[in-house]
Amino acid sequence: MDQKHQRAIAVIAHIDHGKSTLSDRLLQLTGTVGDRDMRAQYLDRMDLERERGISIKAAAVRMNYRANNGETYQINLIDTPGHVDFGYEVSRSLAACDGVLLLVDAAQGIEAQTLTNLYLAVDAGLEVIPILNKIDLPAAQPEKYAQELAQLIGSEPEDVHRISAKTGEGVAELLEAIVERVSPPKGDPEAPLRALVFDSVYDSYRGVIAYLRVVDGRIKSREEIAFMVTGVEVEADEIGIMAPDLTPVSELETGEVGYLISGIKEVRLAKVGDTVTTRHNRAAEPLPGYQEPKPMVFAGIYPIEGDDFPLLRDALDKLQLNDAALVYEPESSTALGFGFRCGFLGLLHMEIVRERLEREFDLSLIATAPSVGYEIELTSAERLEVHNPTDMPDPSQIESINEPYVDVMVVTPTDYTGTVMQLCQGRRGDLQGMNYLSPERVEIHYKMPLGEIIFDFFDQLKSQTKGYASLDYEAAGMQPSKLVRVDVLLNAQPVDAFSTIVHRDKAYDYGKTMTERLRKLIPRQLFDVPIQAAIGSRIISRETVKAKRKDVTAKCYGGDITRKRKLLERQKEGKRRMKQIGTVEVPQTAFIEALRVDSDGASS
Amino acid sequence: MTITTAPSRSRSGEWTAEPGFGVYVHIPFCRHRCHYCDFNTYEGLDALFAPYVDALVADIDRWVGASSPATSVFFGGGTPTLLAPQQLGRILAALRARTGIESEAEITVEVNPETVDEPVFTALLQAGFNRFSIGIQSLAPHVLEGLGRTHSADRALEALAAARRAGASDLNADLIYGSPWERPGDWVRSLDGVIAAGTDHVSAYALTVEEGTPLHTLVATGRVPDVDGDVQAERHAVADEYLRAAGFDRYETSNWARPGRASRHNVLYWSGGNYAGFGAGAHAHVDGRRWWSERLPRDFIAAVEDRASTEAGFELLDDSQRGPEALMLGLRLTSGVDLSALKVLYGEEFLVAREPEIERLVTSGLLEQSGSWLRLAQRSTMLANDIICRLL
């Protein structure tokens, strides 16, 4: 189809603001999905996504829309992930679009991540169609939030669409607005092929399916193509469109959105942001904006049953086929055995990976406290990158430590301004500015260490603002910090799984929290067990698990030796399942409990 | 085989290498079931007393097991003295006729203070019993009340005195310590009381909250505080101190005796000896085969009436299991176990495999070794399970 009749749009919205429901309505209204085939949240493929009500992987769908002017338009709807961890993927989805639908819950107003994505869209020069959803809800305040949206994007409150994706009210008008207000793409059909990969998923039957938008030129089935960033050269086995099921076509023209299957088996060879060109008529330059996925959060993941290590390796290998951002390498811990140090885009990404490992591969896992990546300069002028606290050299060898910082944006009702500032200040935040969205809502900017955010910052923010504040952040480079490693020792033996890097001012609190927590988790043994927290050789906190005094059955009733033996065999089996740290027997549950991140602010 | 895995003592107090042969008889009836009790015993089955005695006698009559005469007999319960002395005597006579009972044998019957008086003791002595184990539990009224015992402290002491008057020469006082109702002074008074009353043997058991008992429910729902292991360890130490001062020696975790008064039947259990068991839910062991009979009195009676076996289950242990089991049992005895005897009986292999662990425990002072004898250190007594399960 000619470019004039094409529109590619994305919906940017906060989790739960109704993006998937709106997509469903658009599919139905354009007849893309028959009423009979409709199921809720059609575009979210994985069970996990459906259950959590969020979209992890972007999907796209083509809709043919007959407008009021009698002409038929091809509208490509590109779904975007809604979480801070996937900001880069969002940016690539937006780069494949001509305009965006800014979808905001009329009862809640705009949230921080949506704001970030809106700024991205505005910076990319995309037409923004503002929409308030859920106007059917009793709590909806469309007037108030229309004002807010209008001010944000520099338009009038009357221009803000008011819809209910659930009932379908106002959705038909939206389709007209897309055709009228969003400009068609402006690619060069005669230039060499340049198609932007805006999503890439692994399918166990078909291999990698790359979703792309043809920016310049055209792509034909069976053509030899090249991925310009990775340098991979393959044949386009199949190209097609999503209508919404994968439907092969012989070619995709300039401006069209479709998919490509090429025999590639791993998503990291067909990465989001890469540019596809033809092998024999290469484009001179790839499309701008490609970034390597950069892991920001690291954690050790261990099987609870040591025998499951090979299963965990296989599972990670399989997940990586589908997740270019997941990195891992084997590591071993004296406390936890053999496992992997994994790198994630963020906490949600970590949670998703862990949940998929447990759910899809039936593994029971234990994760260490999350950590960030540190740059360490040694007194010998050598530089190190450390992802695991145990790799941190002795304090005496360290010249300086840099840690990653992030620009944090919090959007909150003004009532909670002080609360939010106090929280950020307490996490070593540095106020960068504030912007009032309306008299009731404010956007607050802080620069903060990422390491402070990964310890339950989000949960604290939510609970201290009764759920009203929202958070977004993006990487803001490395900065030197006064950091120390706190070790935890059981009976003078360091337990690597509990070592953490924290700011010097917080070391004491961390040490105290961990030793107190472990004192409650470690069962009494045959001798006193000192639990210490230490920085290098300096002990900063100490607790003792007193030796147990009684562990004996009173009698053997009526000669029932069998029962007594079974009792002791069970006790022996219990011992076998414990981890031996020096002479101390530590139950698995103690590690799991101690490493749980909880609300008192310490990693645990 | 005349080798024993642990030294036992004859009634005259002499060491003997002969492990002997025991007989256990179970009487599964109580007037009132105590809330902490998880034994195989039932209230309100008075109608079964007579058929049960008949069944026991018939089951003993048809016994075809080991033929050596019993060196110890133990009538436990339940409350054996709910049965008339004549009924108990009839069962004992059946045993004497069937398995034989050595003239020096220790013949114990458990006695509940409220079911006995001097004439009963006299009748029991005449029936052939020569040792009474009296369930005193405590001499503190509020502890007795907490435990749900219906006798008074005075009644308990009176039972001891009545037994003496009837001519009993071998008395055990059964005590329970470390219950949530007990204060430190209560325990000392109970010990003093039974020592003063002239008991020959004291069994002192830490109260255990067993799953499935009413007490367990009371504790689980917070209506009664749980027992405290530290307190119980402390009370055990107090018992040891008081009883030693009064001339008792502790020969097993929970058992103290005046010289020569250690219970031979008790020691038999802990030295891996052979014993027959008669009655509902009774356990027996002969040479590595352990078995137990039908738990419910009516099932036991029915099996005997049908001329069917009363056996409800069994297990067979080979040498590789008997060795560790002998360690598990023998280490409860103050004397410990004779490793050289174990080696002869069950082979060397299981000991070789456990040598490093034994060495570690000896080095850390939890076990003591002298010559071929291995025993728990004094401080390990109340930690026996943790130590022993490492050697299983």
pLDDT of residue A88: 82
Is residue A526 within 8 angstroms of chain B, CB to CB?
yes
The answer to whether A121 and A128 are in contact (CB under 8 A) is yes
Q: Are strands A161-162 and A127-133 parallel, antiparallel or unpaired?
A: parallel
Q: Are A550 and B230 a contacting pair at CB < 8 A?
A: yes
Ranges for all domains in chain A classified under CATH 3.30.70.240: 375-481
Q: Which domains does chain B have, with CATH numbers?
A: 8-270 (3.20.20.70), 331-391 (no CATH)
- List of chain B residues whose C-beta atoms are within 8 Å of the C-beta of residue A560: 283, 292
Which alpha helices (H) appear in A105-245, and where do they start and end?
A: 112-123, 142-153, 171-181
As a whole number, mean pLDDT of residues A7-19 equals 87
pLDDT of residue A447: 97
The least confident of A3-7, B19-23, B172-176 is B19-23
pLDDT, tens digit, for every residue of B312-322? 999 999 989 99
Contact A150, A159 (CB under 8 A): yes
With a cut of 90, say whether residue A443 has pLDDT above it.
yes
Residue A576 contacts by C-beta under 8 Å, 6 or more apart in sequence?
A: none
The predicted structure's pLDDT at residue A488? 95
The shortest C-alpha distance from A499 to chain B (Å) reads 29
Q: In chain A, which residues fall in CATH 3.40.50.300?
A: 3-181
What tokens were used for A379? 């007194």
Nearest to B383 among A552, A561, A562 (CB): A552
Give the model's confidence band at A450: pLDDT under 50 very low, under 70 low, under 90 confident, else very high.
very high
The pLDDT confidence band at residue A200, using thresholds 50, 70 and 90, is confident
Q: How many CB pairs under 8 A join A and B?
A: 101
Dmax over CA atoms of chain A, in Å, equals 96
The alpha carbon of residue A309 is apart from the nearest alpha carbon of chain B, in Å, by: 27
- State which H helix or E strand residue A399 sits in: strand A398-413
pLDDT at B10 over 60: no
In the predicted model, is pLDDT for residue A194 greater than 60? yes
pLDDT band (50, 70, 90) for residue A57: very low
Instruction: Out of B207, B233, B325, name the one closest to residue A549 (CB).
Output: B233
- Cis omega (within 30 of 0) on the bond before A244? yes
Contacts of B329 in chain A (CB under 8 A): 561
Percentage of residues of chain A with pLDDT beyond 70: 94
Neighbouring CB atoms inside 10 A of A286's CB total 17
Query: Average pLDDT over chain B, rounded to whole?
Result: 92
User: Which residues lie across from A247 on neighbouring strands?
Assistant: A241
CA distances from A93 to A176, A200, A365, A398, A568 (A): 22, 11, 33, 42, 61
A254-286 pLDDT per residue, tens: 999 999 999 898 888 988 899 999 999 999 999
Taking CB atoms and an 8 Å limit, are B232 and A568 in contact across chains?
A: no
Radius of gyration of chain A (CA): 28
Can you give the pLDDT at residue A56?
37
Cβ of B232 and A550 within 8 Å? yes
Structure confidence at residue A244 (pLDDT): 79
Determine the distance in angstroms separating the CA of A495 from the nearest CA of chain B, rounded to an integer: 23
Rounded to the nearest angstrom, the minimum Cα separation between B296 and chain A is 15
Distance from CA of A531 to the nearest CA of B (A): 20
B392 contacts in A (CB within 8 Å)? Answer: 565, 568-569, 572
Assign domain A484-594 to its CATH superfamily: Elongation factor 4, C-terminal domain (3.30.70.2570)
Residues B300 and B282 sit within 8 Å (Cβ to Cβ): no
Q: Is B92 within 8 Å of chain A by CB?
A: no
Query: The tokens of A311 are what?
Result: 């299963």
Query: Is A190's Cβ below 8 Å from some Cβ in B?
Result: no
Would you call B275 an interface residue with chain A, using a CB distance cutoff of 8 Å? yes
Which amino acid, residue A541? S
Q: Is residue A167 within 8 angstroms of chain B, CB to CB?
A: no
From A560, A569, A571, residue closest to B283, measured CB to CB: A560
| Portions of chain A given CATH number 3.30.70.2570 | 484-594
- What is the pLDDT averaged over residues B106-123? 95
Contact B24 A575 (CB under 8 A): no
Give the mean model confidence (pLDDT) for residues A497-507: 91
In the predicted model, what is the mean pLDDT of residues B215-234?
Answer: 95
Contact A558 B283 (CB under 8 A): yes
Give the pLDDT of residue B11: 44
CA of B365 to nearest chain A CA: how many angstroms apart? Answer: 11
Task: Strands of A460-587 (E only): list them.
Answer: 470-480, 483-490, 493-494, 500-503, 529-535, 538-545, 579-581, 584-586
The answer to whether B5 contacts chain A (CB < 8 Å) is: no
More confident position, A53 or B252: B252
Task: Label the pairing between strands B131-137 and B171-177.
Answer: parallel
Q: Does A580 touch chain B (CB under 8 A)?
A: no
Check residue B123 and report its DSSP letter.
Answer: H
Mean pLDDT of chain A: 88
- Mark yes or no for CB contact A568/B234 under 8 Å: no
Q: Given this model, what pLDDT does residue A37 score?
A: 66
Which of the four pLDDT bands, split at 50, 70 and 90, describes residue A84? low
The pLDDT, as a whole number, for residue A18 is: 85
> How large is the average pLDDT for residues B149-158?
90
Please indicate whether, in this complex, the C-beta atoms of B283 and A555 are within 8 angstroms of each other: no
Q: Which chain B residue shows the shortest CA-CA distance from A568?
A: B389
- C-alpha closest to that of A131 among A120, A144, A116, A142: A142
pLDDT digits (tens, 9 = 90+) for A317-349: 988 887 888 999 999 988 888 999 999 988 888
- Which of residues A493 and A60 earns the better pLDDT score? A493
- Per-residue pLDDT at A83: 63
- Closest in A548, A556, A568 to B389, CB measured: A568
Contact A549 B229 (CB under 8 A): yes
Choose which CATH entry (3.40.50.300, 3.30.360.10, 3.30.479.30, 3.20.20.70) describes domain A3-181: 3.40.50.300
pLDDT tier at A599 (50, 70, 90 boundaries)?
very low
pLDDT band at A603 (very low <50, low <70, confident <90, very high): very low
Position A602 scores a pLDDT of: 40
Nearest Cα residue in chain B from A548 = B230
What's residue B2's pLDDT? Answer: 38
Dmax over Cα atoms in chain B, in whole Å? Answer: 58
Report the pLDDT value the prediction gives residue A55, as an integer from 0 to 100.
39
Interval A414-427 mean pLDDT: 95
The pLDDT value recorded for residue A466 is 86
CATH class of segment(s) A375-481: alpha beta
A554 contact residues in B (CB cutoff 8 A): 205-208, 253-254
pLDDT of residue A490: 95
| CA torsion, ordered A16, A19, A25, A30, to nearest 10 deg | -170
- Neighbouring C-beta atoms of residue A596, cutoff 10 Å: 12
In degrees and rounded to multiples of 5, residue A481 shows phi and psi of -145, 155
Residue B1: is its pLDDT beyond 80?
no
In chain A, CATH 3.30.70.870 covers 297-367
Residue among A19, A31, A22, A29 at smallest CA distance from A56: A19
Nearest to A548 among B253, B381, B383 (CB): B383
Nearest by CB: A571 against B230, B281, B389: B389
- CATH architecture, domain A297-367: 2-Layer Sandwich (3.30)
Architecture of the structural domain at A194-278: Beta Barrel (2.40)
> At CA A485, angle to CA A483 and CA A487, rounded to 5?
155
Query: How high is the pLDDT of residue A52?
Result: 44
Residue A285 CA from chain centroid, whole number:
30
What percentage of chain B carries pLDDT values higher than 70? 95
- CB B325 to CB A565 under 8 A? yes
Q: Which residue has the higher pLDDT, A385 or B12?
A: A385
Q: Tell me what percent of the residues of chain B surpass a pLDDT of 90.
A: 87
Contact A562 B208 (CB under 8 A): no
CB-closest option in A527, A559, A575 to B277: A559
| The two three-digit tokens of residue B277, written as one number | 């068991």
Segment B276-304, tens digit of pLDDT = 999 999 999 999 999 999 999 999 999 99
Contacting residues of A for B282, CB less than 8 Å apart: 558-559
Q: What is the pLDDT of residue B87?
A: 98
* CATH 2.40.30.10 segments of chain A: 194-278
Whether pLDDT at A48 is above 70: no
**Angle of CA points A172, A175, A181, to nearest 5°:** 135
Q: Is A558 on the interface with B (CB under 8 A)?
A: yes
B170 C-beta neighbours (distance < 10 Å), count = 22
Q: Quick one: average pLDDT of B49-67?
A: 92
Local structure of residue B260 (DSSP, 8 states): T
The C-alpha of B290 sits at a distance from chain A's nearest C-alpha, in angstroms, of 8
What is the model's pLDDT at position A316?
Answer: 94
| pLDDT for the residue A86 | 75
Q: Is B305 on the interface with A (CB under 8 A)?
A: no
